[in-house]
């Protein structure tokens, strides 16, 4: 099968490519960043993967047949997308249009990776797919949240007008090997601070909660959704186990055996107080649920970041 992965150099993209290659698929990555000799790029270079350097904000034509398109390209770290709000909004709107046009022209199936952020600061716990969310349309997160919401709407519009074969997954907080140490998200921040014995930075008082899903589980969920028949979604992919940011800081300090102190910094605006997926639908339709416990996932991730420090 020939499969396109947009954003194949990103955290989830790289892990997905690795998985698809292990199943002997022909994988073509579209990413605006070129392959470099850094970190995990080396592995993709060696795998003989087809690689197209292209910014999906511009339309693209590709020769030959395409069976499936995993559309992952987007900044996803709040740090990152708040620094580049226009680029983020256009990637998820224009970029998604361009990928839908590609899917339509090739008669390919397209899976859109949406996000738990579309639920905003939810008033309903846990969040089911039929919850419409509580979103600030003009806040510092809106470039990402609203463009992902628009992306979902556009995907459904292509399906209703052109019968394009589409799927939507809503991915909750993910972590694991392959995330940049300076990505800015909480688990990579805390682990990298702890292994340097630097202060661990909690934003706010740390009572806000999240549910963290290990990357291998996320990839398995996305893959199952892509290959499920007669099911468009949206479907939540995440780990229902909920934990406060303060507890996760202490757990990481314990697992790394670090001497780090905790420092409390200002809570960013519109930071959701509580987020946790209801995965009943994924269990039912995809026979999927996370397998890796938080402690096990953190141990693997700590090992990854420690090795990365040594190899640099």
The residues carrying an active-site annotation are 144
CB atoms within 10 A of CB 131: 17
> Out of 185, 211, 279, 288, which residue is the one contacting ligand UDP (CB under 6 A)?
185
The single residue among 145, 202, 218, 298 that binds ligand UDP, judged by CB under 6 A, is 202
Shortest separation between residue 247's beta carbon and ligand UDP, angstroms = 12
Instruction: Give dist(CA 108, CA 119) in Å, integer.
Output: 29
Residue whose structure tokens are 């507890």: 247
Rounded (5°) CA angle 141-32-67:
100
User: Among residues 142, 173, 239, 260, which is the contact residue for ligand UDP, using CB under 6 A?
Assistant: 173
Kindly indicate which of the ranges 56-64, 120-128, 196-204, 298-306 contains the residues binding ligand UDP, using the contact rule CB under 6 A.
196-204
Closer by beta carbon to ligand UDP, 43 or else 184: 184
Q: Which is nearer to ligand UDP, 19 or 203 (CB)?
A: 203
- Minimal distance, residue 274 CB to ligand UDP, in Å: 10
Q: Closer to ligand UDP at the Cβ: 71 or 274?
A: 274
Q: Are 281 and 169 in contact (CB under 8 A)?
A: no
Complex with ligand UDP: residue 206 or 234, whichever CB lies closer: 206
The helix-helix angle for 142-162 and 85-106 (nearest 10°) equals 20
Query: CA 57 to CA 88: how far, in whole Å?
Result: 10
Q: Which helix (H) or strand (E) holds 188?
A: helix 186-195
Measured from the CB of residue 141, what is the shortest distance to ligand UDP in angstroms?
A: 8
Q: Report the candidate in 249, 248, 246 with the shortest Cα–Cα distance to residue 205.
A: 246
Rg for the chain, CA atoms, rounded? 19
Residue 244 sits in the site that holds ligand UDP (CB under 6 A): no
Residue 301 touches ligand UDP, criterion: CB under 6 A: no
Binding footprint of ligand UDP on the chain (CB under 6 A): 78, 173, 185-186, 189, 201-203, 208, 210, 245, 268, 271
């Amino acid at each position: 099968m020939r499969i396109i992965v947009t954003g194949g150099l990103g955290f989830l993209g790289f892990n997905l490519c690795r998985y698809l290659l292990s199943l002997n698929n022909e994988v073509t990555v579209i990413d605006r960043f070129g392959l470099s000799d850094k970190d995990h790029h080396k592995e993709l270079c060696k795998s003989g993967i087809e690689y197209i350097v292209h910014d999906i904000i511009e339309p693209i034509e590709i020769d030959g047949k395409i069976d499936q398109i995993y559309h992952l390209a987007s900044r996803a770290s709040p740090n990152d997308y708040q620094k580049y709000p226009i680029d983020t909004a256009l990637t998820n709107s224009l970029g998604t249009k361009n990928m839908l046009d590609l899917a339509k022209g090739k008669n390919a199936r397209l899976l859109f990776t949406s996000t738990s952020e579309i639920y905003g600061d939810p008033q309903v716990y846990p969040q089911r797919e039929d919850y419409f969310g509580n979103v600030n349309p003009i806040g510092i997160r809106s470039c990402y949240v609203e463009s992902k919401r628009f992306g979902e709407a556009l995907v459904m519009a292509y399906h209703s007008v052109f019968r394009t074969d589409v799927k939507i997954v809503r991915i909750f907080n993910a972590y694991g090997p392959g995330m940049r140490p300076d990505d800015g998200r909480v688990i990579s921040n805390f682990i990298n601070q702890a292994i340097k014995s630097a202060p661990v930075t909690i934003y706010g008082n740390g009572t806000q909660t999240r549910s963290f899903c290990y990357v291998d589980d996320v990839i398995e969920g996305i893959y199952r959704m892509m290959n499920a028949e007669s099911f468009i979604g949206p479907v939540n992919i995440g780990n229902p186990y909920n934990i406060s940011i303060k507890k996760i800081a202490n757990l990481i300090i314990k697992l790394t055996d670090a001497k780090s102190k905790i420092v409390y910094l200002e809570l960013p605006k519109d930071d959701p107080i509580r987020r946790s997926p209801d995965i009943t639908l994924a269990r039912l339709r995809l026979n999927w649920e996370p397998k890796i416990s938080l402690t096990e996932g953190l141990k693997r991730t700590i090992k990854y970041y420690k090795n990365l420090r040594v190899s640099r």
